[in-house]
Structures are given as structure tokens and as C-alpha cells.
Amino acid sequence: MEPSLRRRQGVPPGPPPAAVHVPESDAKRAVPSAARARSWLVPLVLFVLALAVRVYQLASPAEVVFDEVHFGKFAAFYVTGRYFFDVHPPLAKLIVALGAWLAGFDGSFEFETIGDKYAGTTVPFREMRAFIAVIGALQIPLVYEIMRETGARLSTGVLCALLVMLDNAHVAQTRLILLDAPLILFMLLSLYCYIKFFQQRYRDFSARWWAWLAATGLCLALTVSCKLIGVFAFMTVGGAVVWDLWNLLDIRRGLPMRRFAKHFCARALFLILMPLFVYLFWFWVHFAILTRSGSGDSFMSAEFQQTLVGNEMLEQSIELHAFDAITLKHRGTNAYLHSHPERYPHKYDDGRISSDGQQVTGYPYEDENNFWRIVPVGPVNDDDGFFNVTRRRIYHKQHIRLLHESTNSYLLSHDVAAPLMPTNEEITTLPADQLEADEEAARNALWELHILNGVEGETTWSSRRSWIRLIHVPTRVAVWTYPGSELPEWGFRQQEVNGNKNALDKTATWVVDEVRPDPRSPMYSVRSRPPPPRPLQTLPFLDKFAELQASMLEQNNRLTQTHPYSSRPIMWPFLLQGVSYWSTDNERRQIFFIGNPATWWGGIVAISVFAMLFLTDLLLRRRGIFQIPHAVRERSLRTTGFFAYAWACHYLPFFLMGRQLFLHHYLPAHICAVLVLGGMLDFFTSYSVDFPLNAGGPSLTPDRMRGRTAREHSTIHIVLVALAAAGTAAVFVYLAPLTYGHVSLDPAGVNARKILSAWQLHYAK
């Protein structure tokens, strides 16, 4: 940039502070033809090699592997248009479905369980895996380009690309029908586009400046549209943008506030508003494709479900009347409200005393003991005894009783502690003959019906389509059950049902599954016949989006179950635990998801060295000791420091999560660690530490200032690059049987590859 132009824009001499420093890519000097050829030939070669590594043995195993059971199934649902639910946004799943559709998949194979055979089916699993492998291979030249755009040597860029290309975890994750390949590709594109945008910082508001800003926002939106953890890419770029704006605000730059406001609005438009619309667009596509009823119906509201073709609410829902017999199914666990003659034990193991009442439980199967008859509190016929349909309807907030048909007892709650959760009330029953004799007991058998989104006096209760809460009138607790609430042997291992004191708990909702109309009703013959289909309902897109987004977040927070291969973030950089993806006993083959220790341990060492080096330098500078030249320090902070910040954004937030986590969640952070490793390699092979006898300590000096020849300098760097590449390749090949699952290993071979004793490999001694 010309000095006169820098003065006109109010930029002080020297490189301006910013999140990342990059050399000008559009320099006016002519680029040699060899360099131009290299600019496309190297990325092309890297892509071809990466693709070869990923498609090797692609047809093996010819079985469903790990989470292919989910994401392959979702592709089948997209192809057939059946609605499903998942905690992730739709883009990555749409990409998987696109590959399946292009390969001619008809959606008939539904990936039911891990280990299901592909042989003898029409599912094009090789093509589906190959589609993901191409996306994974595109990451490799992108890693190279990111390093080159930040000023790294060609050999350093190639090394970083090789470290990702030959990482066993990345290879395993990008050659199966999984979602991480699109996520990481868009994350890397976000970093690349932001770097290219920052290169235009002296040409603000030029066409290229706008183009790269828009591309950054688009790639960020695509990242978060794959998985919600894509928000970490927003944190990375967002932090850099905030720092850049903070520096632009500096009065010493002489930037008028009107021009600063233009900078701020441009970033807000393309990095916040535009990504929001892109994110919304993929949900619109999701809803446009999934128009038929499917497995995800139960996660959505009745209003939502009635927008789907073939939904039970449209085809089988009937209005409920007094004295109908019904079964109630819990929304979260699909357990039926159930009772049987057996009673709660008089005394629990912890010494508490029960009511000795009849057990009320959650039972997962259809059974005669699931039927309850709706008993009205007041009369339902006219004074002359004439049947009155209007008075027999059940309305929102109406008081009712539920009579258990097989034991002739009424559902009841009272101030007695529940068996497994003493803070909640016990749910039991009251014999019908005691109801008339005991006024207080009769009151304890009184329930208030709450229909979700109902209007008092207007909304009527219907089967299949009305989600309801049963709230106990005297104590205001809601009938509730929950996952993992298994009763002891005395309760036949059925789920506990208790009175939840948080009556508005979203999980305390039930739906009527089966109805037996009252045979005494004059309308019995009419109501016993299948109801006519209801017309499809409509729901505004934003209402559907908001409901699905809330359900995604809610279900994601509930993923707290234990898993034998789940792990905590502190274990990931050190590869203390992997994940068994697939195994076969007869051939003793297995796929074990684990990273290449050479790249994972090297990455965390590089981050540690970077942090210690620059924290030490910061402390020394406070004492007036400047060991690292200012230009060197600024450039390293704006390049390697940016990658270290990206690593922190993609890793540290996992420590705040209580949900189930696995090693593959570290993959985006691992790539950032590899970029830091490349930056530190360039740093230490460009500068050396001098220990002059008459100085106060060592100093970091450019090699060219110390008189080191270019040949010596290049030799050291190339030797280190070659050693790192060779070591990574050797470890990759050694662990390849665990990555591809193509080789049978005897116990000795398995144990030999068990680099850490914590690795839970199959078929070890």
C-alpha cells in the first residue's frame, strides 16, 4: 500500500493491528509461470491423494457402521419424504441425502441397526460413502491454501495438509455416511474466506472486499446449518471481527465515525443478518421435502403434526366423550399409564413408609391394564335424561376422574412421597366403593384436564391430536414419568409414575392413543366406525421453525445418558479414549475411531509451546525486555495466534456441556491445532535464539540477520518437514487396520496397536 494512501485512510505506518496478518495476494509484480502452475497443481495433487486415501477399501465393511444407522436412515426419510426428528440442523443431512439420491437410492433400506448387511439390497452405500469422501478430500487442499494465504512456506502448507490427510480419525470420519465432513469443510471455508476478506483491508468497500465479506458470512451460515456446534466458527470469526472493529475505532487511525459506522453495518449485514436467512432457508427446504408423516411426529405439537400427510391425527382422531375408555401414552417415553392389582411395598429400602396403595406405573406395551374410563364430575344428560352430546364433550380445564377398568379403582394422588423420587407425590388408585364413603378421598381422585394451547370452554379433548396434562386438583401436581425411572422387582421393572410438583413441566404431557367409545351412548355405532380423514392443516413457516428449534435444543440437552465410549473434553487432545465403530467376530476385524498420535500430540504440544512462548514474552515486555522483534511478534500473533484462538473456540466450550460427548467432537479443533503446528514450525525455522555473553538473556533474531545462509535455513526446515511427514505416514499405516477394518488381526496384532492401555480394542488379550 502506498504511504500516501495509508495517510489518506488514517492508517499509521507499519502493519495495522488485526486478528490475522496476511500478505497482499494481488501484488502488481508479475507472477512467474512456474508459480502460477504450482498454485493449482499442488492443491490438485493433494486432493487426488486425499481422495485415494479415503476411497481405499470403501466397500468394506459392507455393513452399517456406527452412526450410519442414523444418518443413512435420515437420507432414506428425505428420499421418501417422511418426517423425522434430529437434534442437528438439516444441511449436512440434506447433503448426505443428495448423494444418495444422485446414486439412485429409493429409500427402501432404512439402516435399522449397526451391522445390518448391505449385500442383497439396492442401497448404493459405496456411492453414498464416496460422496462424503469427496467432501472430506476437499478439506486437504483447503488446509494448504489457508496456510499459504497466511504467508507460510509451500513446504509448511503441504505438511499441514498431509497431517490432516493421514490422520486416522479424519479418514475414518470422512469415508462413512456421517455429517462431520460437510461441517469441517464449511468451517475451513469460513476461515479461508475471512483471511481473503482481511487481505482487502486497505481496499475497503471495493468489489473484492464486499465479495469476500459475503462469502465469509455464507460459509459461516453453512457451517452452523450442518451442526449447532458450527456456532464455534461464528465465535472464531466474530472475535476477529470485533478486534478489527476495535482497532478501527482507535482515534489514532483518523477514521471518521461515519466511515466506521459503515464498516460496522457492513459486517452486521453479512455476518449476522444474511447468515440468519441462509440458516432459515435450509429449514424451509427441510419442511418442503418432509411432507409425510414419519417417525419424528411425536416430537412435534399436534398443530405441527396435522400439516403432514398420513398423520394419525388426521386419519384416526376422534372427539372424546364422557364414559369413553382410553389409553394414555406419555409423550417423552411412549409408556402407557398403567395399573395392576399389586401394591407398593409397605416399607422401602431406605426406610420410608408408603401408602400400601395400588401401583400405578408406566408400561411400554399395549395391555388391558392400560385402559381408563373418563368419569365426569357432573351430570352429562339433560334433566329429562335425554342424551346430550354437548354436555358429554370434555373441555380444556374441565374436572374429571379416571376409573381403572380392570381393577375398578380411581386414579389418585396424595401427600405421600413417590417410590423413587421422594420430592414428588405418589400416584395410586382408590377403590370405587370407597369414593362415595370418603369425601376427602373423592377429592383426591379429582383431576383437571389441561389441553396444550387450549382455550377454556372452547377446546375439546380428542384422541391422537390433543396433548394434555392431568393436574391434581387439591395439590396441583401433574401425572408424570421419565426415562430411566425403572422400579425394583416389586414394580416389575416398569417405569415410575409420580406427581410432578412442576405441573407445567414440558415432559408431563400425554396423548390418548386408543379409544373405546361408551357402549351405552346412542352414538356408539357411529363413533365406533373409523372417523373420516381430516383435511391437512397449515402452519406458518416461522412457527414450524421456532417449534423445531426449541425441540432440537431441548432434546440435545437431554442427551446425558452414559455410553461406554463417551468421553470428556480433557481426554481428547491426548487420545485417551477412542470409539468402537464396528467389529465382526468371525473375521476379527474392527473399525476403531482414534486419531493419529503423531498429529494429535504434536498439535497440543504446538499450542502449549505457543502459549508459553508468548505469555513469557508478554511478561518480559512488562519489564522492558524485548526478546522477540516487534514485527516478528505481531505477525506470529496475527497468524498462529489466530489459529490458536480458533482452536480454543472449537474446544473449550465443550467443557461447559453436560451432554454426551465423543472424540469426534474434537475434529474441528484438531485441524486448528495442526495449523498452529505449521505456524510454529515456520516460526522456529525462520528465527533462532541467540545467547550473547554480554546480554541480559537470549534473544530471537532472524536467521538472515545472524548470517545463516539460505541453503542452511532451507535444509533445516525441509529435514523437519520430511521427518514429520514420514512419522505421520508410518503411524497412519500402522493403525490402518483399525481405520479401514479390512485386515484380520490376532490378539497379538491388536495389542501391538494398542498404543495406550485405555484404548478399548476388541479381540485383545
- List pLDDT tens digits, range 187-222: 999 999 999 999 999 999 999 999 999 999 999 999
| Model pLDDT, residue 748 | 92
Range with lowest mean pLDDT among 25-29, 83-87, 174-178, 323-327? 25-29
- Over the chain, what is the mean pLDDT? 88
Q: Angle at Cα 68 formed by Cα 62 and Cα 70, nearest 5°?
A: 145
Confidence check: pLDDT of 292 > 90 = yes
pLDDT tier for residue 752 given thresholds of 50, 70 and 90: very high
Secondary structure letter of residue 536 according to DSSP = P
Residue 47's closest CA among 135, 129, 180, 138? 138
| pLDDT value of residue 264 | 96
Residue 16 has pLDDT above 70, yes or no: no
Grid cell in block for residue 627: 526478546
* Tens-digit pLDDT profile for residues 144-157: 999 999 999 999 99
Query: Residue 526 above 80 pLDDT?
Result: no
Contacting residues for 207 by C-beta, under 8 A, at least 6 apart: none
**Could you identify the residue written with the cell 390433543?**
466
Return d(Cα 121, Cα 118) in angstroms, integer: 6
pTM: 0.83
Q: Which of 34-48, 91-105, 508-522 has the highest mean pLDDT?
A: 91-105
Model confidence over 674-695: pLDDT tens digits?
999 999 999 988 754 443 333 3
Q: If we measure between CA atoms, which residue out of 563, 556, 546, 588 comes closest to residue 761?
A: 588
pLDDT above 90 for 652: yes
Of the two residues 561 and 206, the one the predictor is more confident about is 206
Helices (H), 269-364: 274-289, 302-305, 312-315
The pLDDT, as a whole number, for residue 433 is 86
* Long-range own/partner contacts, residues 629-637 (CB < 8 A, 24 or more apart): 629/700, 629/701, 629/702, 631/14, 631/15, 632/687, 632/700, 632/702, 634/15, 634/17, 634/21, 635/15, 635/21, 635/151, 636/679, 636/683
Q: What pLDDT does 713 receive?
A: 59
| pLDDT at position 13 | 35
50-59, 497-506, 526-535, 558-567, range with the lowest pLDDT: 526-535
The position carrying cell 432404512 is 110
What mean pLDDT do residues 268-285 have? 97
CB atoms within 10 A of CB 558: 14
d(Cα 197, Cα 204) in Å, to the nearest integer? 9
**DSSP per position, 203-216:** GTTSHHHHHHHHHH
CB 53 within 8 A of CB 161: no
The per-residue pLDDT for 2 is 39
Q: How far apart are CA 215 and CA 395, in angstroms?
A: 54
Q: How confident is the model at residue 711 (pLDDT cuts 50, 70, 90)?
A: low
Residue 326 has pLDDT above 50, yes or no: yes
State the pLDDT confidence band at 172, using cuts at 50, 70 and 90.
very high
What pLDDT score was predicted for residue 559? 80
pLDDT tier, 332 (very low <50, low <70, confident <90, very high otherwise)? confident
The answer to whether residue 589 scores a pLDDT higher than 50 is: yes
Segment 36-59 mean pLDDT: 91
If you search the block for the grid coordinates 489459529, which residue do you land on? 643
Please tell me the least confidently modeled range out of 209-213, 310-314, 456-460, 488-492: 310-314
Average pLDDT of the residues in 117-130: 94
Confidence of residue 381 (pLDDT cuts 50, 70, 90): low
Comparing 292 with 378, which gets the higher pLDDT? 292
Cα(725)–Cα(727) distance, integer angstroms: 6
| Predicted pLDDT of residue 396 | 93
Rounded CA-CA distance 30/16 in Å is 26
pLDDT of residue 692: 38
φ, ψ dihedrals at 403, nearest 5°: -100, 120
Q: In the structure, what pLDDT confidence band is assigned to residue 458 with cuts at 50, 70 and 90? A: confident
What is the gyration radius of the CA atoms in the chain, in angstroms?
33
Range 731-734, long-range pairs (CB < 8 A, 24+ positions)? 731/596, 731/597, 731/598, 732/166, 732/167, 732/168, 732/171, 732/596
